[in-house]
Amino acid sequence: MSDKPEHIVIVGAGAAGLMAARELARAGRRVTILEARERCGGRIHPLPASQFGYAADGGAEFVHGEAPVTRGLVREANLSLQDIEGTQWSFDGTRLSREDRDDPHEAELHAALNALKDDIPVAEFLRRHFAGGEYARMRRSIERMVEGYDAADPERASTLALREEWMDGGHATQGRVVGGYGALIEFLAAECRRHGVAIRFGCVVSAIEEAGGAIAVRCAGGDVHGCDRVILTVPLPLLREIALPRGAREKAAAADNIGFGNVIKILLRFQRPWWRDRRGYLADMTFLLSDETIPVWWTQRPSEHPVLTGWFGGPRTAELSTLDPQALVDAGLDSLATVFGLSREDIARDVVASAATNWAHDPFARGAYSWATPQTREAQGILARADGPVLFSGEALYRGADMGTVEAALASGLETAGIILRG
């Protein structure tokens, strides 16, 4: 038997890939990461501080809930978290008001959720239990949450997953990494290199082949990397584009039962925080919800940066698929103009930097993050089976309550490395 260390190729230098790589390299494995982009981080995408005045995030931004792996890493990296503080507002088409979180039917909702035994899609759950006109506001707010927050389709999204997410008080605390998620990725990438991990950029993996116990990983440019085992951490839509050995291909088919949603994110930096100057009562505004084309906006509270971030998630983002980044910025300005009763020009005059990404157009993400259908837990079980030389990892494989997050990706990477090391 060879005494050479096992060579593991990890496809993708996002949170999951880097986390798995560090664990494996620390335990003495030889690790190579092949990354399609020219940077680490994947769906963590720092924007230049020179443009926005701080390390803004074009992808993941918030740390949701307890997130133990993320918080552990933040401490290890000597970084810190800042909790979000402030008030939430909404615009009903006529006026702005403080968002009233309590719905008179909340107790009924909780009772119906608790009584649910078999999983059904959220839309069906609402039709079954809350079809009456008196529930219209609650239905709208749940659909808005499922589409906007989870980027999911209510006709397919799992009610049990939603129950887990809500009942755990998952959204109770939200914070940001001071210095942005990019600082965490920098730390992880440095750790990987310190432990001897080779990170190769610009390698778009197109095929994984298996012959006589040896594995060959092929990149679009013609490079071939031989190894003993592969961990695939690419986002679900990219999985379908990589040719896999038969056993792995059969497992990968289970991914069809995991939802994958899209997000459009827009950042606008202004000369001054005009929303506060014009309306003092919005001084500590965090989130602002509306039914405009770009329906959700938030500030950097408690930080003072004069930046508004627009967010549109879920299946209806397809309606804006023909818009380029400038057209998305214009759509964002129009939405803000309507909410604040101003003209687009009034607001545009103050813009000093902008960035807009429709994540469905990103060639190495093809969307934003995964969400659970009633069949997802079973699909994740199939994908996570370590019964061959190709393993799957990444946010979509995470079986906890906060699927589709950075925490999910880090925890999944850690779990996959653990499976190999316990081997």
Residues 44-63 that bind ligand FAD (CB under 6 A): 44, 59-62
- Residue from 14, 121, 179, 180 touching ligand FAD (CB under 6 A): that is 14
- Least distance from C-beta 198 to ligand FAD, angstroms? 14
Among 9, 10, 21, 35, binds ligand FAD (CB under 6 A): 35
Q: Which of 9, 17, 251, 300 binds ligand FAD (CB under 6 A)?
A: 17
Determine the residue type at 98: R
Between CA 57 and CA 65 the distance in angstroms is 19
Q: How far is the CB of 281 from ligand FAD (least distance, A)?
A: 27
Residue with smaller CB distance to ligand FAD, 14 or 182: 14
Of residues 273 and 367, the one with the C-beta less far from ligand FAD = 367
Confirm or reject binding of residue 255 to ligand FAD (CB under 6 A). no
**Residue from 23, 150, 153, 395 binding ligand FAD (CB under 6 A):** 395
Contact 126, 136 (CB under 8 A): no
Q: Using an 8 Å Cβ cutoff, are 36 and 364 in contact?
A: yes
CB of 213 to ligand FAD, least distance (A): 23
Q: Which is nearer to ligand FAD, 223 or 346 (CB)?
A: 223
Instruction: Tell me which residue of 412, 25, 28, 2 sits closest to 234, measured CA to CA.
Output: 412
Number of residues that bind ligand FAD (CB under 6 A): 42
Q: Considering beta carbons, is residue 32 or 293 the nearer one to ligand FAD?
A: 32
Residue from the set 123, 184, 188, 365 that interacts with ligand FAD by CB under 6 A: 365
The closest alpha carbon to 313, from 289, 333, 339, 342, belongs to 289
For CA atoms 352, 357, 362, 368, the dihedral sign is positive
User: Quick one: 186 or 350, whose CB is closer to ligand FAD?
Assistant: 186
Report, in Å, the least distance between residue 87 CB and ligand FAD.
20
Q: Does 406 bind ligand FAD (CB under 6 A)?
A: yes
> Alpha-carbon distance 413 to 411, whole Å?
5
Run of H or E residues at 372: strand 369-372
Q: How is 89-127 classified by DSSP, letter by letter?
A: EEE-SS-EEE-----TTHHHHHHHHHH--S--BHHHHHH
Interaction pattern, residues 265-304, with ligand FAD; x per rule: CB under 6 A: x---------------------------------------
Contacting ligand FAD within 216-245 (CB under 6 A): 233-235, 238, 242
Closest CA to 215 of 383, 385, 390: 390
Q: Is 65 in the site for ligand FAD (CB under 6 A)?
A: no
Closest CA to 113 of 134, 129, 132, 137: 129
Alpha carbon distance 148, 316 (integer Å):
10
Task: Select from 367, 408, 318 the least CA-distant residue to 59.
Answer: 367
Question: What is the C-alpha separation between 306 and 276, in angstroms, rounded?
Answer: 10
In degrees and rounded to multiples of 5, residue 65 shows phi and psi of 60, -150
42 binds ligand FAD (CB under 6 A): yes
- Tell me the window of 91-99, 118-126, 282-290, 402-410 that interacts with ligand FAD (CB under 6 A): 402-410
Q: Is 258 in the site for ligand FAD (CB under 6 A)?
A: no
Instruction: State the nearest-atom distance from the C-beta of 410 to ligand FAD, in Å.
Output: 8
Q: How many other CB atoms are there within 10 angstroms of residue 21's CB atom?
A: 32
* Count of CB atoms situated within 10 Å of the CB of 252: 19
Strand ranges in 193-254 using DSSP code E only, listed in sequence order: 198-200, 205-211, 214-219, 224-227, 229-232
Does residue 409 belong to the site contacting ligand FAD (CB under 6 A)? yes
CB closer to ligand FAD, 64 vs 229: 64
150 contributes a contact to ligand FAD by CB under 6 A: no
Residue closer to ligand FAD, measured from CB, 126 or 230:
230
SS3 content of the chain, % helix, strand, coil (to 5): 40, 25, 40
- Read off the tokens for 4: 């050479």
* C-beta of 34 vs 146, nearer to ligand FAD: 34
404 binds ligand FAD (CB under 6 A): yes
Q: Which one, 389 or 404, has the nearer CB to ligand FAD?
A: 404
Q: Which two tokens stand for residue 64?
A: 């949701």
What are the residues binding ligand FAD (CB under 6 A)?
A: 11-17, 34-37, 42-44, 59-62, 64, 203-205, 233-235, 238, 242, 263, 265, 359, 364-365, 368-369, 394-395, 404-409
